[in-house]
Chain A
C-alpha cells in the first residue's frame, strides 16, 4: 500500500453513465486483489474535497481497471479523465475476497454497480480452475453488465426488475436452486439485496462461506477517521480497513 501517481491509459463507456477507466499502476496491478480498492483524488483542489474509493475491477498486466459510475461530484470528474492524465491514488486498501483453494464452485451475486469487484474475482477463480456462476440483478436491460466483459467460462444469469432481460424479479430468487452446487458465495450490491442473500444462505446453507463487499462513505480510508464504520457481530468495524469484505453472517443488516 502506498501513495502513487497513475496515468490513465483508457476510458470507455460500457453502460449508461458507467465507465471502465484503465490506469497504469505498475506492479500494483497484480498485487491489488478483487475486494480491495484505491482511494483516488478526483481534483487538484477542494472541489470535491475528499478522495473517492474505487473498487478493483480487473487487472491486465500493469494496468488496473476501475468501473466508475457517474453519480456525483467525484465520480463525475473521474469518468471525464482522458488518457494521459494522471491520478493521485492511495492503495491498494482493504481486504480482498478470499478464495478457498478447495472451493470448486463459486456463486457470485451482484446488484447494479456492485458487480465491479465480482468480475475480477470471477477471472481469478477461473484462472484457478474453479467453476463460476455470476448472477446479476439490474433495474432494466441497459443496466445489465455486458457479458462481453466476462470470461467465457463464467455462467451468467440475469434478473431485471422489469423483465426486459433475463428473468423478471430479484436476483436473490436465483440463489436457492444453486446453493447445493456452490462451495462459496460472494456478493456485492445494494444492502437489501445482500441482507436478503445473507438470510437465504444462513437459513438454507449455513455451512457455505458467504462473503460480502460492503460500501460506505469514506473520509480517510486509512482506518483513522472512523467514518465508514458498520455494525457487526464482532463490534464496530471499519469498511476501509477491517473490510470491505466481511462474512455475511457477521454483518448486522439494517432493516430500515
Chain B
C-alpha cells in the first residue's frame, strides 16, 4: 500500500540552504516537529522513521534542564496545552549520546536549540557545527514556556535577527528559525531573520493559553499558561504562512495542527515548502508517513509534477 502506488514521476524532494555551505536536501517535505518526537528513537518502535523527510529533535539548551513542575499538559478542544519547560539532557549529552545514533540514519536530524540569551544560541551552534549526525539547526527563539527577565525571548525583530546572525556566523549548517505567532509584526520578524542569514522559517510555534480547573478554581497547569497546539490552531497557522510567504523569499516550513494530507496541502498552497507534523503524532503515530505516502498522488491528481508546484499555489490563483 502507499508509496508503491505513487506516481513515479512526481518529485517530492525539497531543499534548504541552497546557498549555505551544507545545503540540506530532503527526500520529501514531511518532517516531525520538535518536542513531539523526542530524539527520534522512541517512535521507531511503531513507524519506519527512516522514511520521514526529517526529524526535528526535542529543543535542547546549553545546560540540562529539569523542566517545569507538573501538571505540564492538558487537553483542549481539538488541541492541547503544554508547559514542559524544555526538559532536556543539554547540548553536551546530545552530542555525545544522540548524534552518533543519528549519524547512522538515513533520515536527517535537525537539532532544535533554545537559549535564554544570544550567547547561548551562539555557544550551541558552535558546538553542534560539524558534528556527524546533525543535519541542520532549528532556532527556537520564542518557546512560550521559557521566560528571560519577564518576557519571551526573541519577541522582537532586532533580537531575532541578533540570534540568527550569531548562529549564522558560527555554522555552515542550514539554519531554520522557528517563530512565535504572538509577536507584534511577524512579517517584520521574518524579514529580519531572513536578512540575518536564516535558510528557512518554521511557522509557527504554539500560542499561549490556559485552562482553569472549575472544581478548584485554579489554573490546571502548574506553570499557569502553556503553549496551544493541535488542529485547533491550524487556521491561524495557515494564515500566518500565507502572510509571511509574501514577505520573504526563503522557504517556509509550515506547522500547526496538521492531521492529514489535506492539511499539509493547505500549508503548502499557502506558501510552505515543507511541513511538520507535531501533536497529531500522539493521536496517530503514522500521521506523518501517511502524508508521505499520499502526497505524490495528491500532486498528480492536480495535474502537477512536483511538490514545489504546490508551494504558494493559493497565492498565485487568479482572484
Contacts and interface: CB of A to CB of B under 8 A. Distances in A.
Contacts of A2: 45-46
Contacts of A47: 77-78
A127 to B, nearest CB: 29
A1 B47 CA distance: 12
Given A216-B71, A235-B66, 19 more contacts: A41-B284, A46-B231, A49-B231, A51-B282, A90-B285, A217-B71, A219-B73, A219-B80, A219-B279, A219-B282, A222-B38, A222-B45, A222-B282, A223-B38, A224-B36, A225-B282, A228-B70, A229-B87, A230-B70
Nearest to B285: A3
5 contacts: A41-B283, A50-B75, A219-B80, A219-B82, A225-B84
A48 B232 CA distance: 12
B230 interface: yes
Contact of A225 (B35, B230, B284): B35
Interface of B: 35-38, 42-43, 45-46, 58, 66-67, 69-75, 77-80, 82, 84, 87, 230-231, 259, 279, 281-286
A48 B282 CA distance: 12
A223 B72 contact: no
Contacts of A3: 46, 285-286
A3 B82 CA distance: 25
Contacts of B87: 226, 229, 236
Contacts of B37: 224
Q: Which of A50, A224, A235 neighbours the largest number of chain B CB atoms within 10 Å of its CB?
A: A224
B70 A229 contact: yes
A103 interface: no
A3 B47 CA distance: 10
Contacts, number: 96
Interface in A211-235: 216-231, 235
Contacts of A88: 284
Counting contact residues on chain A (CB < 8 A from B), the size range is: 20 to 34
Contact of B283 (A49, A235, A236): A49
Nearest to A1: B45
A32 B54 CA distance: 33
Interface of A: 1-3, 41, 46-51, 73, 88, 90, 216-231, 235-236, 241
A227 B72 CA distance: 5
Nearest to B278: A225
A88 B286 CA distance: 12
A222 B42 contact: yes
Nearest to A74: B75
Top 3 A-B residue pairs of the complex, sorted by shortest distance between their CB atoms: A224-B38, A227-B73, A46-B78
B74 A217 contact: yes
A225 B77 contact: no
A47 to B, nearest CB: 7
A70 B285 CA distance: 26
Contacts of B286: 3
Contacts of B285: 3, 90, 222
A9 to B, nearest CB: 24
Contacts of B35: 225
A217 B226 CA distance: 14
A220 B84 contact: no
B283 A217 contact: no
Nearest to A52: B75
A3 B283 CA distance: 11
A227 B46 CA distance: 20
Given A220-B282, A223-B38, A223-B42, A49 B70 contact: no
A94 to B, nearest CB: 13
Contacts of A50: 75, 80, 282-283
Contacts of A241: 42
B75 A226 contact: no
Contact of A90 (B46, B69, B79): B46
Nearest to A230: B70
B46 A217 contact: no
A227 B79 CA distance: 14
